[in-house]
Amino acid sequence: MEKITAAAIRDMKDRGERIVMLATYDYLTARMIDEAGVDAVLVGDSVANVVLGHRDTLAVSMDEMIHHTKAVARGVKRALVVGDMPFMSYQASADDAIRNAGRFLKEGHAEAVKVEGGRSMIKKINAIIESGIPVMGHLGLTPQWVHQFGGFRVRGKTEPTARAILEDARRLERAGVFSLVLECIPWQLAKLITEKVGVPTIGIGAGPYCDGQVLVLHDLLGLTGPHVPKFVKRYAKLDDAITKALADFKREVKAGKFPTLEHSYDMPREEMRRLLKSFRRGR
C-alpha cells in the first residue's frame, strides 16, 4: 500500500486517472473512507454546518479544525489528508497563513491544506507553499465568501465572472497549488479550466469534466436532511435508517422488550447462591 502524497495527486492528471476525495471530520468515517480506497480526505470547514450545527462555515475555529484533523489522521493510512483552513486563519496576513497551515501539519498530522480564494489570496498561498506545505486551491462558490456573494449561488455564469475565475485558476497554478477545488460553477466553465490548467481540478457542483470529484460524506450517505442540493447524489439514505433504529429502540425500552437475557451478562449459579447466603447472614 503506497501512501498518497500531494505530488501523487497532481500526477494523476497526467495519467488521466480520476481523483476521488471526500470531506469528513472523524476517525471512524475517515477509516472507512480510507479502506474504500478514496484518494484524499478533506477535513472540511463544512464541519461547522454539517456536524456542529452552525448556519455556515464561518464560525469554526482553528482549534476545532485541529481537533477534527487529528481524529481523521488517526483513521487514515493511505489517503492524502487535507486540512481546510478556516475563516480568518489566513486572510489577515501571510504570517497567520504560515502559522496556521503549519499547525495543520504539526498538530493535526495533515499533509496539505486547502485555502479558499483567488488573486487576493495569492500572497498567503505563496507564503504557505514557500514554507514547504502543499496547498489545494478552491474557486467558484467559496463558502467563506458567502456574505460578499450575498448567498450560496452558482458562480461564473456570466462572461466577466467566468473569465475572472479562469484567470484565478491560472494564477493559482502559477503560485504552485497541487490541485484546485471548483465549487458550484457551470460545467462548461469547469471543463475549460480543466483543459487550460496543468493541475488537477476537483469538482463539487462543477459537472463531469473535472479531473476529480469531491462530496461531503454526510451528503452522499443521506445524513443531511430533506434538502438535497442539485450537485449531490445520495448513495444511501442513512437518515431514514437511523430514525427508524432510534424509534425501535425507544419503543422496545418503553415496552420492556430490550434488553432481554440475550443481551445480559450471566453470573455462575454457585456464586449467586453464595452471594444470597452471605447477604442473608449479614442481615
Binding residues (CB under 6 A) for ligand KIV: these are: 23, 42, 44-46, 84, 181, 183, 204, 214, 216
- What is the secondary structure of 214-271 as a DSSP string? EEEHHHHTT-S-S---TT---S--HHHHHHHHHHHHHHHHHTT-SS-GGGS----HHH
Joined together, the cell numbers standing for residue 229 give: 442540493
- What is the secondary structure of 131-151 as a DSSP string? TT--EEEEEES-GGGHHHHTS
Give backbone dihedrals phi and psi of 242, rounded to 5 degrees, phi first.
Answer: -70, -45
* CB closer to ligand KIV, 85 vs 197: 85
* CB closer to ligand KIV, 128 vs 204: 204
* Amino acid (one-letter) located at 213: Q
Give the separation between CA 189 and CA 209, rounded to whole angstroms. 10
Least distance CB 119 / ligand KIV (angstroms) = 19
Length of the chain: 283
* CB closer to ligand KIV, 51 vs 258: 51
Give the separation between CA 98 and CA 123, rounded to whole angstroms. 11
Joined together, the cell numbers standing for residue 242 give: 437511523
* CB closer to ligand KIV, 45 vs 211: 45
Give the separation between CA 248 and CA 86, rounded to whole angstroms. 39
* CB closer to ligand KIV, 133 vs 141: 141
* CB closer to ligand KIV, 28 vs 275: 28
Least distance CB 240 / ligand KIV (angstroms) = 23
Least distance CB 264 / ligand KIV (angstroms) = 43
Set 111, 116, 173, 183: catalytic member: 183
Give the separation between CA 108 and CA 12, rounded to whole angstroms. 25
Least distance CB 109 / ligand KIV (angstroms) = 18
Least distance CB 275 / ligand KIV (angstroms) = 55
Least distance CB 214 / ligand KIV (angstroms) = 5
183 is catalytic: yes
Pick the closest to residue 97 from 131, 66, 69, 67 (CA basis): 131
Give backbone dihedrals phi and psi of 114, rounded to 5 degrees, phi first.
Answer: -115, 140
Give Cα 283 to chain centroid, integer Å: 61
Please give the positions annotated as active site. 183
